Amino acid sequence: MSFTTWLSGLFAKPYRTIGAAEAQELQRGGAILLDVREKHEWQAGHAPKARHIPLGQLSARSAELPAGRAVVTVCQSGMRSAQAARFLATQGREVANLSGGMNAWSRAGLPVTR
């Protein structure tokens, strides 16, 4: 293994980054769409059938996520959900992060529940 390969592996993300359309398709296929925003953000509007566990509670509540199902993390812009994705990946979960978060979901014209 070359030094460059080793170095890029060292800094590689342990999760995929996806767009809104792919997130919706994964959800339709059985993946859990996990919204890690705060309660007031969730109440302002979220993706239908998403689950809500705020990022600050994720380590204590991750067992609520059914084993064997992929997880797509989402927040408002994609930053907090990237932290959630990294955490879940270290727990051995198959996980992807929605790039651009609910902002991207809304821009893509996907449904939002209030």
Quote the pLDDT of residue 50: 98
pLDDT band at 58 (very low <50, low <70, confident <90, very high): very high
The answer to whether residue 112 is domain-embedded is no
Residue 49 has pLDDT above 90, yes or no: yes
In the block, tokens 């812009």 appear at 77
Domain that holds residue 75: 14-107
Does residue 2 have a pLDDT over 80?
no
The pTM of the full predicted model, rounded to 2 decimals, is: 0.90
Q: What is the DSSP string of 30-85?
A: T-EEEE-S-HHHHHH-B-TT-EE--GGGHHHHGGGSPTTS-EEEE-SSSHHHHHHH
**Number of separate domains in the chain:** 1
6-10-12 Cα angle (round to 5): 110
Mean pLDDT of 48-69: 97
- Flag whether pLDDT at 5 surpasses 70: no
Write down the catalytic residue from 53, 72, 74, 75: 75
Mean predicted confidence (pLDDT) in 77-90? 97
Q: Which of 22, 78, 27 is nearest to 50 (CA)?
A: 27
8 found inside a domain: no
Determine, yes or no, domain membership for 7.
no
Q: Which domain CATH number covers 37? A: 3.40.250.10
Residue 114 resides in a domain: no
How far is C-alpha 54 from the chain's CA centre? 12
In a domain? residue 25: yes
Catalytic site includes residue 75:
yes
CA quadruple 66, 76, 106, 58: dihedral, nearest 10: 10
Flag whether 51 is in a domain: yes
Residue 41 lies in a domain: yes
- Assess if residue 87 is contained within a domain: yes
pLDDT at 111: 97
